Amino acid sequence: MNILNPNDNRKAVVIFSGGQDSTTCLIKAIADYGVANVEVITFQYGQRHAIELEKAQWIAEDLGVKQTLIDTSVIKAITTNAMMENIEITKDKNNMPNTFVDGRNAIFLLYAAIYAKGQGITDIITGVCETDFSGYPDCRDVFVKSMNVTLNLAMDYQFNIITPLMYLTKAQTWQLADELGALDYIREHTHTCYLGVEGGCGSCPSCLLRENGLNEYLSSKQ
């Protein structure tokens, strides 16, 4: 049976890393727009572990969506952090973890917008969240909204940056995955670990956030 697209055949591009959040956004986008109207952009920004890019490629192929890989690794020349260098994960005096990559989400949204306009796409989806996060300033709703206005002005184009997870806890993100019928898929196929360990190290901040959220959600179902 052919079901009419609830978004009237608009197209969307998802900023996609192969992690839990962006994969949840991708699967939701496929449900909302139809697989033929969704594609993803993955950024090679100099991340220290190739597994992230490998997972993203595998999931995009498995779900049948077009993937565009964009190299923004030039950022390594101007900043240092634990996401791109083999250094210990720590926090500074302001409690900001050194996994924060200055300017990363601004760059991602800018390049995604340039690409989207060229394809005639207005909807850009990103999995940033200010509820369960590490204090990253570029995951806040105020930043995304300001970037949306800036991009619209910069390119004289009506972009719509969509953040499905913005106010969800990690447990609620797992709940959303479950409601989409993708809980096991995301558990088995996504990568979140900062240390690049297949299946997760279980001790880095990202693994702990993911696992604690999953346990909270599963407990709530009992």
24 is in an annotated binding site: yes
26 is in an annotated binding site: yes
139 is in an annotated binding site: no
- Helix (H) and strand (E) counts for the chain? 7, 5
Residue of 24, 65, 9 whose CA lies nearest to 166: 24
143 is in an annotated binding site: no
43 is in an annotated binding site: no
The SS3 call for residue 139 is helix
16 is in an annotated binding site: yes
- In what order do the strands lie in the sheet containing 66-71? 66-71, 38-44, 12-15, 123-125, 160-162
Phi and psi at residue 39, to the nearest 5°: -140, 170
17 is in an annotated binding site: yes
The secondary structure of residue 2, as a DSSP letter, is: P
Instruction: Detail the residues annotated as belonging to a binding site for Zn(2+).
Output: 193, 201, 204, 207
Instruction: Detail the residues annotated as belonging to a binding site.
Output: 16-26, 193, 201, 204, 207
Instruction: Detail the residues annotated as belonging to a binding site for ATP.
Output: 16-26
